[in-house]
Chain A
Amino acid sequence: MQKKKWTFATTAIVAGLIALSAIATLVIRIPIPATTGYFNIGDVFVVLAGLWLGPLAGALVGGLGPTIADAIGFPIFIPATLITKGMEGFLVGLIASRAKDSSLTLRTIAAFAGGLTIVVGYFMFEAYIYPAMGKSMPAFAVTDIGAAIVEVFPNTIQGVIGAVGGLALWKALSGYNPKK
């Protein structure tokens, strides 16, 4: 596992990916009334960040980009998104950083593990954490276990699109060096 040095170029790319993940999350949104959540394609950039720049960058892009998008229209999901998508980016980066050279097998596993993280993460938040929080803070009482089950299917599609799109973008962009 090779450790990459964090440079100004890394910061610039991470900031660009945070902004792009926020925009991608904003542009295509399909609301799911049962949970007050929504389907989006922002995970493409979260997976890309993890594959390309490692766990820290993945966690930053996953934690900040989609969370900014949630603030516009779906603020109640900010805590769930911050933790779930941050974990998604971190996990993708952690697994992918063990891949040798341009090997695709481990990166594919990493990307789909990221997809699985959002399915499990949102389910936990919607089925257990939000209903528990809703007892003391009524604003969070927007979901229950039934609604969480409904959202498993759209979240699975979202995870698969994020994994496939992230891998495709990684193949296209991994040779990019902002210092050239």
Chain B
Amino acid sequence: MNKHTDIKKAMPWWLKFLLLLIFGLPGISGWPTGLFVLHLQKTDLFTPEIAFICVWGTYACCVWMVVLLSAGINKLLTYLGAAFTLALTVSILGALMRGFFPIIAAGMSKEAISFKLIRIFINIIVFLPYSVLFINSFSAKRLIDNVAQLGGRYRTVGLHLALAFRVFQHTGEVVFNLFEIWTEEYPEKILPRNKNELGVRWYSPVKILVWVWGSIHAWIFACIIHTFEPIPAMVEEIERINRAQNSER
């Protein structure tokens, strides 16, 4: 299953862009998945909730299949790991906050809120792997090489866009790598340090807040440092290409 098509080299970029855009349309616009949900409801075999889960579950499987075929099983599992963690965090936080601050639910029924959380959960597990696949389907290096052949102002604008794309791709990789590294080497950033003490001392839950703050703080700074670390080298390379092309003309 580790054999897969290198999507960066497959088909012309514009065709790939178009196909990926069409493929991701249901995630953003809700079309045509919304139509399928309505159609299933009309059969009277499904409640609106089950119809939604059936249609979006099928779409999720299609997205994962495309990720599997184009990025391989290891990448798919990494993306799914991050997507499920994120989706669970959002759902659990949503459910907890609804308990602490009932006003944020504004009189909605428990069922309606739960269904909203399920919708968000499904949307995240579908769209996160898709977004990462979209960004990683194009080669930044090839884009820079192509843009460097352009003339005048188009080249400068193109190089700016290519550089932005490269940094964007790099940041995406940083986050997934950090996620893997911390899961394996620094599990205390993922799991509350005092999880064994929770029922022992009355003030233990307060320590959760300290852990949450420490983890957020560490995540933000690690992300910033690793995102900005290679930027000088990237900028230097783009400036060199720009200078070289300018002197040639």
Contacts and interface: CB of A to CB of B under 8 A. Distances in A.
B245 interface: no
Given A11-B163, A75-B30, A154-B104, A19 B228 contact: no
Contact of B27 (A14, A34, A71, A150): A71
A179 B236 CA distance: 8
Contacts of A71: 27-28, 127, 131
Interface stretch (B10-18, B44-52, B167-175, B200-208): B167-175
Contacts of A20: 171, 223-224, 227
B164 A11 contact: yes
Given A33-B116, A72-B131, A73-B120, A15 B175 contact: no
B106 A179 contact: no
Interface string A3-39: 0000011011111101110011011111111101010
A8 B238 contact: yes
A68 B86 contact: no
A175 interface: no
B194 to A, nearest CB: 20
Contacts of A74: 120, 123
B97 interface: yes
Nearest to A75: B28
A104 interface: no
Nearest to A14: B164
B100 to A, nearest CB: 10
Q: Chain B CB within 10 Å — which of A11, A24, A179 has the most? A: A11
B234 interface: yes
Nearest to A36: B116
A7 B44 CA distance: 60
A32 B216 CA distance: 21
Interface residues of B, number: 53
Given A12-B231, A71-B131, A179-B232, A146 B106 contact: yes
Contact of A15 (B28, B113, B128, B167): B167
B159 interface: yes
Interface SS, A side: helix
A31 B120 contact: yes
A111 to B, nearest CB: 17
Interface residues of A, number: 45
Contacts of A27: 86, 89, 219
Given A74-B120, A139-B30, A33 B234 contact: no
B150 interface: no
A4 B7 CA distance: 39
Given A29-B93, A75-B123, A13 B163 contact: no
Interface in B229-246: 231-232, 234-235, 238-239, 242
B164 A31 contact: no
Contacts of B108: 33-34
B133 interface: no
B228 A13 contact: yes
B104 A16 contact: no
Contacts of A150: 103-104, 106
Interface of B: 27-30, 86-87, 89-91, 93-94, 97-98, 103-106, 108, 112-113, 116-117, 120, 123-124, 127-128, 131, 159-160, 163-168, 171-172, 175, 216, 219-220, 223-224, 227-228, 231-232, 234-235, 238-239, 242
Given A73-B123, A154-B104, 19 more contacts: A8-B160, A12-B163, A15-B164, A15-B166, A15-B168, A16-B228, A24-B220, A28-B216, A29-B86, A33-B104, A33-B112, A34-B103, A38-B90, A71-B127, A73-B87, A75-B27, A75-B123, A169-B224, A179-B232
